[in-house]
Amino acid sequence: MQQSPYSAERQPIGFLRHQQTFSRPDYAKWVDASFKPDTLFSNDAMEFGQLVRSSQIIGALPELPSAASPVEWRGQPGTRAPHVWIMKGDVRMSTLDLFGRDFVLLTANRTWSEGVKALSLSVIQVDADIVFSSEISFGDVFGVGAQGGTLVTPDGVVAWRTRSVFNEDNFEEIRRLVGMKR
């Protein structure tokens, strides 16, 4: 039986959490002497900053740590999309409220909307559909600069991002990811 992509993504995180639990000094009495403890990650890293690696994530490179603070990740593919308070019309909401049904492409560059309209995804135009506060920029929070875009899965994981303007290579990467079954 073939393992689902979702299982392949989440089982390493389950193992990481197991290792982190038994690497804590207060759990040392529950493990045998042959256990080699891992380096401990912070609570923020373990709760909100675990890295998902799979064929459905472009950019979760093997040399990256298994977890880090969400602030350090800044929209790194394979991590949860950053939480930031935004305005959608007159409603204050979290960026996390934008995800849950479809793949979502977030960008501040209008050319992206036109370029991906043939794909089955939602496009959210920053500074038109949603507005970030003046103290923080979309490009900095998601690590895409002013011209780039980021693709977020329905379950809120950053699947891909780029700092470049829309081009045919970007379209093909997004098309492949959106076409995969999660």
Report the alpha-carbon distance of residue 145 to residue 166 in Å, rounded: 13
- 46 in helix, strand or coil? helix
pTM of the model: 0.90
What total of structural domains would you count in the chain? 1
Q: Any idea what DSSP says for residue 75?
A: S
Q: Are the beta carbons of 69 and 47 closer than 8 angstroms?
A: no
Q: Which of 26, 72, 22, 21 is nearest to 51 (CA)?
A: 72
Residue 32 banded pLDDT, cuts 50, 70, 90: confident
SS (H, E, C) 107-143: ECCCHHHHHCCCCCCEEEEECCCEEECCCCCHHHHHC
- AA letter at 66: S
CATH code, domain carrying 120 = 3.40.30.120
- By three-state DSSP, how is residue 99 classified? coil
Please report, for residues 38, 40, 43, 58, 108, the alpha-carbon distance to residue 65 in angstroms, rounded to integers and kept in the order given: 12, 12, 15, 16, 29
Q: d(Cα 109, Cα 93) in Å, to the nearest integer?
A: 22
Largest separation between any pair of C-alpha atoms in the chain: 60
Contacts 24+ apart (CB under 8 A), 124-131: 124/98, 129/88, 130/86, 130/87, 130/88, 130/95, 130/98, 131/86, 131/87, 131/88
Model confidence over 79-118: pLDDT tens digits?
999 999 999 999 999 999 999 999 999 999 999 999 999 9
| C-alpha–C-alpha distance, residues 123 and 140, integer Å | 19
Give the tens place of pLDDT for each residue, 111-141: 999 999 999 899 999 999 999 999 999 999 9
Domain that holds residue 73: 5-179
Is the pLDDT assigned to residue 181 strictly greater than 80? no
Structure token pair of residue 108: 């501040």
Task: Report the candidate in 46, 119, 113, 108 with the shortest Cα–Cα distance to residue 80.
Answer: 46
Per-residue pLDDT, 10 = 84
The average confidence (pLDDT) of the chain is 92
Provide the pLDDT for residue 182: 54
